[in-house]
Amino acid sequence: MNWQTINRFDDKIEKIAVDPNESRTVFVVTDRKGFYRSKDGGNSWIDLSEVLKELKLKMDIKDLIFINSEPNVVFLATYYGLLRSNDLGDTWEKIELIPPEKEATINAIAVNPQNSQELYYVTNTTFYRSMDGGQNWATKKLPTTRAGWKLLIDPEEANIIYMGVRSLR
């Protein structure tokens, strides 16, 4: 196996996400709030941080999800908000939440891979579900004193959702 450096971000890498529909499209999130995209396998990079600052969202990115069935669609969870892009991050639209932004910390997001209108997110105490792209939300208090931390929808059975938890201490 051979390795090759394609870019040095001069910062700790927090997340790397590769588009399942086009493997040359890569997103990188760095520790000091960097958010970058390459559409050519890492030969060139675009800084997307400014686009998110314009939306007045805190830049602590928690999760990034591609939708296999919908090329170019990306969901982004920040500390206090959810965003959707239909053009691989060139433009973003906010998804309205309950509770409102800045009142609950989002720890993870999941999106049904067959239906991007079916959204889920979890905070320290509550699980949220929308079946209409974020227009309406249903909530369920977590059955544990631990914080909801990671979400994953089973790729074979989309009605099965896995949630990892962690201690709040």
Domain CATH number, residue 118 = 2.120.10.30
Supply the range of the domain harboring residue 130: 57-166
| pLDDT of 117 | 95
- The structure tokens 């991050």 sit at 89
pTM beyond 0.75: the answer is yes
**Which one has a higher pLDDT value, 49 or 146?**
146
| pLDDT of 137 | 95
91-95, 99-103, 138-142: which is most confident? 138-142
- Residue 36 in any domain: the answer is no
- Residue 126 in any domain: the answer is yes
Mean pLDDT of the chain: 90
Backbone angles phi, psi at 45, to 5 degrees: -130, 145
- Per-residue pLDDT at 33 exceeds 80: no
- Residue 16 in any domain: the answer is no
Tokens of 52: 């998110």
Q: Where are the alpha helices (DSSP H) in 55-157?
A: none
Tokens of 91: 């433009």
| pLDDT of 57 | 64
How does residue 16 score in pLDDT terms, banded at 50, 70 and 90? very high
